[in-house]
Amino acid sequence: MGLAKRVIPCLDVDNGRVVKGVRFIDIKDAGDPIEVARRYDEQGADEITFLDITASSDDRDTMLHVVEAVASQVFIPLTVGGGIRTTEDIQRMLNAGADKLSINTAAVNNPEFVQQASNQFGSQCIVVAIDAKQVSDDPLKWEVFTHGGRNPTGLDAIEWAKKMAAYGAGEILLTSMDRDGTRDGFDLALTSAISEAVDIPVIASGGVGNLSHLAEGVLKGRADAVLAASIFHFGEHTVAEAKQHMVDRNIEVRL
């Protein structure tokens, strides 16, 4: 008995609308992030992550309204990522009702930003997102990438994770760019390597295609939380089914 492993559905939001095909029975508007978030909350999601993929910065205020509306109806932790570059961005999202902000490119461009943000707002609300790609087999090595895996940074993923933890990140959201979208399961070697290297919680992301993958993320990847998008979006599985599967594999979850 103790702390439960978390299951976190992730929603990609473009200009205020959920994208990448969300399909639910008895839902009026599957593109409405509020309705989708409420559905995941009812299914027992432990947190919800929104990734703002809006291309134009002019449209970013739309995300603020989405967060505000969700936060007045859904009372579980909400994480927002995408386009968080300044402490003003963080302040605005917190005021809208976000609990944690996920920082990716801005951390790579200016690592001190993470330090500054965690000093100002507390490390509990600063999540550093790391997109990693395997660059060597022997020894196993992963490099940090930005811009959806297009831009190499030259940073070793394990060293980067340690640095971000030392700079005050409260948590790491780790995505394998090799597995993202493949439905082949998490990169378990990467996940366990990062989880062992830092003493802050690690959320595994990228590649979930079935419920067994979620359990393996915890059991073999040593992740503290597992994040998935498509297996929940397409109505293949509910969050409740995911948790029941984890219980069957002797993983402690909140039911």
Partner 1 sequence: MSKIVVLDYGSSNLRSVAKALEAVSESKDHVTVSNNKQIIIAADRVVFPGQGAIGQCMQNLKAQALDDVIRECINNKPFLGICLGLQSLMDHSDEDGGIAGLGIIPGKVRRFQSNVRDENSTVFKIPSMGWNQVFQKQVHPLWNGIEDGSRFYFVHSYYVEPKIESDIAGETEYICKYTSVIARDNLFASQFHPEKSQHDGLALLKNFVNWKI
Sequence-ordered alpha helix ranges (H) in 60-187 = 60-71, 87-96, 105-109, 112-121, 157-166
Active-site annotation holder among 14, 89, 131, 187: 131
Q: Is 153 exposed, middle or buried (CB count within 10 Å of its CB: 0-12, 13-18, 19+)?
A: middle
Structure tokens at 51: 């990734």
Instruction: Give the range of 58-66, 69-77, 79-87, 138-146 binding partner 1 by CB under 8 A.
Output: 69-77
Cβ 162 to partner 1 shortest distance, Å: 14
Cβ 52 to partner 1 shortest distance, Å: 18
Q: How far apart are CA 114 and CA 112, in angstroms?
A: 5
39 binds partner 1 (CB under 8 A): no
> Exactly one of 18, 103, 194, 225 binds partner 1 (CB under 8 A); which one?
225
Specify the residue, 30 or 219, whose C-beta has the smaller distance to partner 1. Answer: 219
Specify the residue, 64 or 132, whose C-beta has the smaller distance to partner 1. Answer: 64
Instruction: Give the range of 50-58, 74-82, 134-142, 206-214 binding partner 1 by CB under 8 A.
Output: 74-82
Q: How far apart are CA 37 and CA 8, in angstroms?
A: 11
Residue 125 DSSP code: G
Q: How far is CA 131 from CA 7, 12, 48, 126, in A?
A: 19, 16, 19, 16
Instruction: Give the catalytic positions in this structure.
Output: 12, 131
Residues lying near partner 1 in the complex (CB under 8 A) = 1-6, 41, 46, 71-73, 75-77, 94-97, 99, 119, 121-125, 170-171, 195-196, 199-202, 222, 224-225, 254
